[in-house]
């Protein structure tokens, strides 16, 4: 029986994916990151990049642990993505980037019925973000769920 089975937004929650804050960072500056998140900095060159401070990561993980504890007390199955090194660089023939985080799985996926749709990410830094969720997605697929990926956007220079 498919582990993915979503037909409305008001049935009791049975399972949830909670992201992670570990290794979260601001990605290498680029025009897309500037346009979506950092216009207030005035130019691409002014975007800060690199890992978030460790105390921010630790406090966020503490908050997530409290959220997970609440879910589990309510009988909700909680799944988590793999811890990922978001400083790894990946590229196409047109550009290179590093990652940001795997904190927001709701940005990446939508479920309809027994189908899980992997959304395309518009930011270069988020193009590879779903990799750390692959084991979860494979479990869902093996259970009978459909898993489809929308085409990635064309992100050029």
Asked if residue 28 belongs to a domain, the reply is: yes
Q: Please give the pLDDT value at position 66.
A: 98
Asked if residue 76 belongs to a domain, the reply is: yes
Range of the domain at 92: 15-149
Asked if residue 34 belongs to a domain, the reply is: yes
Residue range 77-94: mean pLDDT, rounded = 93
C-alpha count within 13 angstroms, C-beta hemisphere, residue 91: 7
pLDDT in tens, 97-144: 999 999 999 999 999 999 999 998 888 899 899 999 999 999 999 999
Asked if residue 10 belongs to a domain, the reply is: no
pLDDT in tens, 50-71: 999 999 999 999 999 999 999 9
Q: Please give the pLDDT value at position 93.
A: 84
Asked if residue 108 belongs to a domain, the reply is: yes
Question: Bridge partners of 87?
Answer: none
CATH number, residue 73 = 3.75.10.10
Sign of CA dihedral 107, 111, 112, 118: positive
Q: Please give the pLDDT value at position 92.
A: 85
Asked if residue 114 belongs to a domain, the reply is: yes
Count of domains observed in the chain? 1
């Amino acid at each position: 029986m498919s582990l993915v089975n979503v037909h409305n937004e008001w049935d009791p929650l049975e399972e949830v994916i909670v992201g992670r804050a570990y290794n979260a960072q601001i990605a290498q500056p680029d025009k897309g990151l500037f346009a979506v998140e950092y216009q207030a900095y005035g130019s691409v060159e002014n975007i800060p990049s690199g890992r978030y401070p460790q105390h921010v990561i630790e406090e966020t993980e503490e908050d997530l642990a409290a959220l997970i504890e609440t879910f589990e007390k309510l009988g909700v199955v909680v799944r988590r993505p793999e811890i990922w090194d978001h400083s790894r660089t990946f590229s196409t023939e047109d550009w290179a980037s590093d990652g940001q985080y795997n904190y927001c799985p709701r940005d990446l996926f939508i479920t309809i019925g027994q189908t899980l749709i992997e959304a395309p990410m518009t930011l270069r830094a988020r193009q590879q973000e779903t990799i750390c969720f692959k084991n979860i997605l494979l479990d869902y697929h093996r259970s009978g769920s459909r898993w489809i990926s929308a085409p990635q956007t064309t992100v050029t220079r």
